[in-house]
Structure 1
């Protein structure tokens, strides 16, 4: 081979090998936060990475009722673990309101929710939690239970200094703006180079706090959403102090990248991130559109697979953007703030995923045992009120309606829980049986038989009076969008569209005007009109 050709070939091989990336999805075990980098590396490090979770509301992962649902502590654990593969120190901080989803629990909920909180705490330890703040949703079972989990905490109004290479990050927690101002000042006096504020308040209140004189934080995280709707998206307000609110229920992480100048000094939000944010937003929009198409009832499997492949490609591109180190100037102490949406196509940390699987297995057995020992039947309907009777009494008059229902996903609602082992999960069962926790319905996990699936009464209301005396006047409910979204809500069915989904559950014998009651027929032969 001529020498010039040989040299070119060798250079080509070098370039190819130099561009290879490790594709093994199993990361190395995470190091402790303080040991995020070796002493030698820390002395020459050019920055640090902070991950922040908040407002998790007791979620280990999404329910799985829809395709491509975000979230999951195992996916979050993978992101933190992957970042620790580099030379920069990595800190993981939780903002609180994470252990439970409600401030009060019914007796039957207690075993499940305590077990879930313990699983979340184990996962946070696995992720190398540096420190966490606390909120009302952490004290649902009392301060003693929370403290018994053994997680590192920073009290409201207090400061925790964390080493981050040659700099110190101060984490301050507060449940009022005034407390936040005082705690941030203390963090500076204690030697914090960068201050992360955790305020137990919604975004709008945090924005007002960010304008207070004397506030000494660099980034402020609102750790509690104002409503279900407000928690459905990531929000970043860029002002003198950037204010962030991650998507609730563990669906996103906040990532803060710090870059260090040669000399200590104040930090400033780095410029030039607008183009990246616009590209990420465009990818988000395209992903959302594909999600709706993928979740269309009755979509052709081949078309669905093609669209899913395209979606996975977009997720990979977005992930590369949000995890790439920002451009930094050696003369400026700077930082960037980004969200890491925990998309379904992202990997999970195997050990964390195993922890979630153990919880899924144990909690079902725990709930079933509790129901058998302590469960109470639903109260009987009040006098003059209808009760639930199940599908079979409906079939005797409406046989022609059942083929439509039997082809729908409503008919397989219970089966979908059994496939993933969640048929005894209290968070799931209510939308997969008929008449859950309603008078005359089903209130015990050990007495679900005959009420499985989303049956006639789920949409039309309890049917005892109508079964006894069929009439259009005693059909309790008139199905509409308001009723559907009690289960097809943004959390469980984020891509639901009433106008698109409705035709999928209508058909011959179900929803046809010709089925209306005929006044010429005897009462026992009449069939009520379908709404």
Structure 2
């Protein structure tokens, strides 16, 4: 009898342990935003952060931990509203869907996009659009949720998490269409928070606003448990702040970082464990799923021939581009030197990356793109590939006609058109100039009779 009781006690102990481990005891909110059109690092220098391929691997790592995760997007997938941006918007929405994002909060750049594109994406993509204070009464139906509630049933006790999203009116530009209405954030939030605070376990606000505005919102609504915010925050790891017990945190810009907020669950009580922001560096491999999607994106740019559809600006005084080889007739020594520099290989770096049909990349890797007579595409403008002589010195047809006239003076400002903080953050004019400085040559001035 004693043995039987012992066996039964062991059995029930094991059973109770199995039940206790049948459910997770924590969940993680993963957040990103303000990509501003950055699908992947441009590749212009080593050690770049970010990209959807690394982000997929990061999220996949957490998904394999078997704890529930809720990836959410803060807003501003785009930087502008042209045709290339529309293709980016669709690519990024597809990427969010593949990564299991539950929502995307609309930022001011998102609502500037063609309403027909926004309508299509809101109804065909798995990621839901969120905004508590933006109303779009467009000719095309756009599905926008004022609040999104997610139930987590695999946490032992049912847990409800409510997501609200606002867009600050101070961020609106001149491109906002007349059929878009943006309400004052606190007025829009008030009825929802009053309704939700006793019905959900956690309220999360995606506040597409400045840090200062989000702090004021936190003071007005202490029932909000987490605020994801920030606009143009370059160093998000140093920007985490608190109002009372509410963390206010940003994932930075350009998709370079990703944020996580971990919560523990004890019965129906939620306890915040950590809030942190992590750089998407070389620690995370590029996922093949996203690499394939990025290749589809480049293919779409090629199919639509966007290179040839970019408007071309006229040059003053009848100027036109001639190509670097034309310069070699008189400046052979300089041309031979240039040919050995990285400037002369600029176009090939795009070909190797598969970006030679990307208008955003091509300008600094060719000569005169965006100007009449400048590079248009490889088939029509082979003489203008690479960062050639006229990239720095300007269109040279008049110089050929009259070599005695002053031409081609350049300085640090010319270099910084491409070697800017985004694509060449370590640029130092004096050091870089040494790599491309022309050899001296003796040229006699000539006169035309």
Asked if these proteins are the same fold (TM beyond 0.5), I'd say: yes
- Tell me the CA shift for residue 449 of structure 1: 1.6
Match of 2:304 among 351, 361, 366: 366
- Tell me the CA shift for residue 170 of structure 1: 1.8
- Tell me the CA shift for residue 377 of structure 1: 8.1
- Tell me the CA shift for residue 340 of structure 1: 2.2
Give yes or no for the alignment of 1:246 onto 2:251.
yes
**In the alignment, which residue of structure 1 is the partner of 2:115?**
143
Partners in 2 of 1:200 and 1:449 — Cα distance?
45
Alignment of 1:422-437 (within 5 A): 422-437=355-370
- Tell me the CA shift for residue 253 of structure 1: 1.1
**In the alignment, which residue of structure 1 is the partner of 2:315?**
381
**In the alignment, which residue of structure 2 is the partner of 1:290?**
none
Match of 1:336 among 243, 249, 274: 274
Q: Verify the 8 A CA contact 1:223 1:245 in the aligned structure 2.
A: yes
Task: Quickly say closer, same or farther: Cα 1:344–1:522, change in 2 above 3 A.
Answer: same
Partners in 1 of 2:363 and 2:357 — Cα distance?
10
Q: Verify the 8 A CA contact 1:379 1:440 in the aligned structure 2.
A: no
Partners in 2 of 1:126 and 1:257 — Cα distance?
22
Task: Quickly say closer, same or farther: Cα 1:498–1:46, change in 2 above 3 A.
Answer: farther
Give yes or no for the alignment of 1:172 onto 2:168.
no
Provide the secondary structure at the position in 1 that maps to 2:425: coil
**In the alignment, which residue of structure 2 is the partner of 1:153?**
129
Partners in 2 of 1:172 and 1:376 — Cα distance?
38
- Tell me the CA shift for residue 48 of structure 1: 0.8
Task: Quickly say closer, same or farther: Cα 1:264–1:377, change in 2 above 3 A.
Answer: closer
Alignment of 1:176-325 (within 5 A): 176=168, 177-179=185-187, 181-182=189-190, 185-186=193-194, 188-189=196-197, 191-210=199-218, 212-222=219-229, 224-225=231-232, 230-231=233-234, 234-240=237-243, 241-262=246-267, 264=269
Task: Quickly say closer, same or farther: Cα 1:234–1:357, change in 2 above 3 A.
Answer: farther
Output one character per residue of 1:359-392: Cα deviation in whole Å (capped at 9) or x when no partner. Answer: 2234323326x83xxx48845534x353322213
- Counting strand residues as a fraction of each chain, which structure ranks higher? 2
Provide the secondary structure at the position in 1 that maps to 2:102: strand
Task: Quickly say closer, same or farther: Cα 1:256–1:377, change in 2 above 3 A.
Answer: closer
Give yes or no for the alignment of 1:113 onto 2:85.
yes
- Tell me the CA shift for residue 220 of structure 1: 1.8
Output one character per residue of 1:244-278: Cα deviation in whole Å (capped at 9) or x when no partner. Answer: 2223222211111112345526xxxxxxxxxxxxx
Q: Verify the 8 A CA contact 2:87 2:297 in the aligned structure 1.
A: yes
Residue ranges of structure 2 left out of the alignment (5+ in a row): 1-17, 134-145, 169-184
**In the alignment, which residue of structure 1 is the partner of 2:384?**
451
Q: How high is the TM-score relative to the length of structure 1?
A: 0.67
Give yes or no for the alignment of 1:65 onto 2:44.
yes
Q: What is the aligned length?
A: 393
Task: Quickly say closer, same or farther: Cα 1:184–1:507, change in 2 above 3 A.
Answer: farther
- Tell me the CA shift for residue 91 of structure 1: 0.5
Residue ranges of structure 1 left out of the alignment (5+ in a row): 1-38, 266-332, 510-514, 525-531
Provide the secondary structure at the position in 2 that maps to 1:242: strand
The CA RMSD over aligned residues, in Å, is 2.9
